[in-house]
Structure 1
Amino acid sequence: MLTCAIIDDDEINRLTLEHYIELTPDLKLVASLSDGIAGLTYFREGNKVDVLFLDIEMPHLSGLELLRVLTDPPEVIITTARQDFAVDAFELRVTDYLVKPFEFARFTQAVQRVQARASHSASASATPAAPEAPANADLFVKVNSRMVRINFDDVLYVEALSDYVNIVTPKQKYIVYTTLKALETRLAPFPNFIRVHRSYLLNTQHIESIEDNTANLRGGHFVPIGKSYQDGFYKGLQRI
């Protein structure tokens, strides 16, 4: 059973979420609040929940501002009518981002992501292991005028293109306005991503073979392994 709180200044949205929570056997609602200030007071009084359903645009204190001041926030599912806050929200490590109006099926999918993260944390606590990538491996990136969700488990490699990067998956390529260095920093928690060339980041999960200092990836993709990166790369392979 996961305890839940709702913070949303729209009464209709709160009632919808309360109804969805009531329909979900694994959830228990313990607080439904109408603004960010009330939410801040609730948590500063020592109250804790497993899941927070949080609106962004609220008077006095927005949802993102609330997240920035909470010292130990719970799992957060953003519920908002705006798509353009997605990048900022995921930088704050939210679990999911629901754009209103959303159906019960999409709500359930978000809850399942929280449950998967909770299960992962419980397993890690019970059996100490080597550090692993965060459970939330998604990031929204801006491609032209669209915000696109990319799951980094699907990424084969990333190639630098001057002030842009080319993020390559088995099905598609995404040209994103950022630097390889910035994306390398964003991917630091994911040990399967390794810098293998001044122009390439490689996802080692997709390597099929290595020949002549070239990594052969699934789907017929090839990535060169730069001379100055070879020692670190091959040492890393011994731990894979």
Structure 2
Amino acid sequence: MPDLLPLTCVIVDDNEMSRLALEHFVALTPGLELAATLPDGLTALQFLQTHPPIDLLLLDIEMPNLTGLELIRILSQPLPAIVLVTSHHNFAAEAFELPVADYLVKPVDYARFLQAVKQVRALRPRPAPALPLRMENSNVFARVNGKLVRINFDDVYYIEAMSTYSVLVTATHKHIVHVTLKNLEERLPFSHFVRVHRSYIVNTRRIDAIDDHQLTLGPYTVPVGKLHKAELMRRLAPL
């Protein structure tokens, strides 16, 4: 599988043979880590409420005292990815109303199990790529040309998008870092940096003048997009 980020999983089934079969499949599958194998819904409820969150719940539907569907309704949000395991081809209508990633029909074969895991991975939010920047107050250590360079963000006039890179522009340098402008915007902890154009973020403390379509920042001019101007003016209002 291309994405092998580890998934912690719990098996819940009142049938011992079904549990053993699923345990075997988990052991065969790269990237799956078995956190527990539990014999009924009540035991599963207690486990899930008292242990760290898991990524995948392999859950039987028909169990005494607390069914799989009832367990899903009781569990606190956010739910793990859930794959229901059942002996019946015709699921109850209520099962289709629940947030379930896939359904496996017993006896489960390994190929079908892998398909379910693939479906879970496809639905799983992917972590944002690591940012090649390390923040320390107003200083940033940016990886530029293979080495870490200290950049004081107070000196940055604006940041410009350049394909999958961003250019941090100061009075004397243009530092190119391998991170998209969107990711940079999401990660910057500085409230005085504002998106003013699809390709530009500016340091509002460096703005010298504003006209209808552009900003003056020291020796530089930067365009202002129509969709961003209202937010820029709102952010500048207290100044």
Q: TM-score, normalised by structure 1?
A: 0.49
Q: Which has the larger radius of gyration?
A: 2
